[in-house]
Amino acid sequence: MNKELAMFLEELENFGVANDQKITDKSKRMRNVTPETGQFLSFLVTTTQAKNILEIGTSNGYSTLWLADSVIENDGYVTTLEYSASKAELAKRNFEQAKMSKWIDLIVMDAGKYINKVESNTVDMIFLDSDRKEYVEWWGDLSRILKRKGLIVVDNIISHSDELQDFYELVSNDENFKTMKLPIESGLLFLTKK
């Protein structure tokens, strides 16, 4: 990662922490992944050589920038979905400031409506970091659009295990998928299509 992007990510990290400490309204909090999770996501993009990445839950684009930094090496791009217009506006500005807009397709709409239209078996990697109540309903489309051997990473499997219980049961009983929980930061759930 170049120094400029590393410094910008640090700036966003500090902004997110300070903002979320003083604001209680969930819709205005950034709720960014930690830098360790960001770094790990970036590492995964490199090792899996993912080209077509879908992120669900952009917020102000912090995790998107970590994903995008590695997808450049793979000659790919990140599509990121955010339904809050104000957060998407922040993300757009951050992508421009980081000079990364070329590798990021920011789509401002409800993720459920978007994934419903995506072609089957076309996505290499999905990072799921959105409204956890929707995951069960989205599973049909998420599993359909992922390529064989593709990877889905779900954040908060440990920190919000109660909210993700139904989703976890659903995916771990899906015979087309292998699952694994990793205790990194808030806990990451990995799913790969057999």
Ligand X SMILES: C[S@@+](CC[C@H](N)C(=O)[O-])C[C@H]1O[C@@H](n2cnc3c(N)ncnc32)[C@H](O)[C@@H]1O
Residue numbers at the binding site for ligand X (CB under 6 A): 31-33, 57, 59, 62-63, 81-84, 87, 110-112, 129-131, 134
Q: Which amino acid is at 44?
A: L
Give phi and psi for 123, each to the nearest 5: -105, 130
Residue closer to ligand X (CB basis): 67 or 146: 67
Nearer to ligand X, 87 or 92 (CB): 87
CB of residue 131 vs ligand X: minimum separation in angstroms? Answer: 3
Measured from the CB atom, is 6 or 149 closer to ligand X? 6
Residue 106 near residue 136, CB atoms below 8 Å: no
Residue of this chain nearest to ligand X (CB atom): 57
Three-state secondary-structure class, residue 114: helix
Taking a C-beta distance cutoff of 8 angstroms, is the pair 61, 90 a contact?
yes
Rounded Cα distance between 37 and 123, Å, is 21
Separation of alpha carbons 137 and 111, rounded Å: 11
Taking the least distance from each CB to ligand X, the nearer of 60 and 176 is 60
Q: What is the smallest separation between the CB atom of 73 and ligand X, expressed in angstroms?
A: 21
Q: Which lies closer to ligand X via its Cβ, residue 32 or residue 70?
A: 32
Helices 62-71 & 3-22, crossing angle to 10 degrees?
160
